[in-house]
Amino acid sequence: MTGDNQKWLEHNTFHHGEFWDILDLVKEKEKKDLKISLCIPTLNEEKTIGKEVLILRSELMERYPLIDEFAVIDSGSNDKTLEVAESYGADTYLASEILPEVGDKRGKGENLWKAIHQLKGDIICYVDADISNIHPRFVYGLVAPLIKQAEVQYVKAFYDRPLNYSSGLRSSGGGRVTEILIRPLFSLFYPELTNIIQPLSGEYAARREVLEMIPFPIGYGVETSHLLDLYEKFGLNAFAQTDLDRRVHRNQTTNALGKMSFGILQTFINRLHSQGKIDRVPDVETFYRRFEVEDGSYNQLVQEVVEEERPPMIEIDGYRKRTGNS
């Protein structure tokens, strides 16, 4: 490990326990006149969303006013996700009803992108909706470096991700796409970014001014694109990361992870081209192919995966008008 990498790890890697004094964070936030928004993107998460809203709102809005705004932005759930979230006190929105003039696309990245328009915070924190061991550290551990260090622009979570088996939790495992796909790609093309311990974590916080200047893939590539685009603009020192100890969540099947990897690769190849690391984007397929075997018969399943992208929010007329940048 180079000296610069070690220095970055020592200076920009935190543990949530360093920020246990939430009241101190509130005082510093108010002193710096910062507003913080929390967004949970959802699609059919009625089983876990109530607990998340209850715990985060009661601790970080009512007990300690660290969060100024708490929103659930939904992709069009057909269960009671929005009703449950609203009953526990979250502001709830359908992504399709935010910036209706730009149309509606389905995907987590769409919800994250539209949150920039809907929410008013100087700092926006994103937390996934399927965390069964939710705790306030999933928020204060991410926003604290942004409150305390002006040079930090974007904070990623990392944690132990045990795999949930019927026999109980296994203490190692998880992060399969990171270790099999993203870490090798970063090692080849962006070695400094290998310092980000869990680049695909769904929990992160960032300053509005950096979120509004980057495009958002609407699908699987959104977390990867954030790192590549902001690294290109600001370098590694704009990032920080916080150890949140453990995250227990719903595990994806291997087939689902293959589809995710296929989408991420599309985003990655496009960034290699736009950042001058390859001369041209090859002609690539958008159909993901895999096999199933049933009664000795081999069947190829074909599914289209297109990583569409939304432009930087600052380029959207409706946003520019709302923020006075028109």
| DSSP string across 113-153 | HHHHHH---SEEEE--S-BTT--THHHHHHHHHHHH-TT--
Q: How many CA atoms lie within 13 A of 187 on its CB side?
A: 9
Q: Is the dihedral of CA 1, 12, 158, 80 positive or negative?
A: negative
Q: Is 60 helix (H, G, I), strand (E, B) or coil?
A: helix
Q: Determine what percent of the chain is predicted with pLDDT higher than 70.
A: 94
Q: Please tell me the predicted confidence (pLDDT) of residue 70.
A: 98
Cα(143)–Cα(160) distance, integer angstroms:
20
Query: Does the structure show a pLDDT above 90 at 283?
Result: no
Q: For domain 3-251, give the fold.
A: Spore Coat Polysaccharide Biosynthesis Protein SpsA; Chain A (3.90.550)
Per-residue pLDDT, 174: 44
**8 A C-beta contact, residue 124 and residue 44:** no
Which pTM does this prediction carry? 0.92
Q: What is the per-residue pLDDT for 167? A: 45
Within 10 Å of residue 108's Cβ, how many Cβ atoms? 24
Q: pLDDT (tens digit, 9 = 90+) per residue, 147-177?
A: 999 999 999 999 985 444 444 544 434 478 9
Cα-Cα end-to-end distance for the chain? 46
Residues 290-318, mean pLDDT to the nearest whole number: 91
Are 201 and 158 spatial neighbours (Cβ–Cβ below 8 Å)? yes
Q: Tell me, what's the pLDDT at 175?
A: 78
pLDDT confidence bin for 130, thresholds 50/70/90: very high
Cβ-based neighbour number of residue 290 at 10 Å? 14
Q: Is the pLDDT of residue 122 over 90?
A: yes
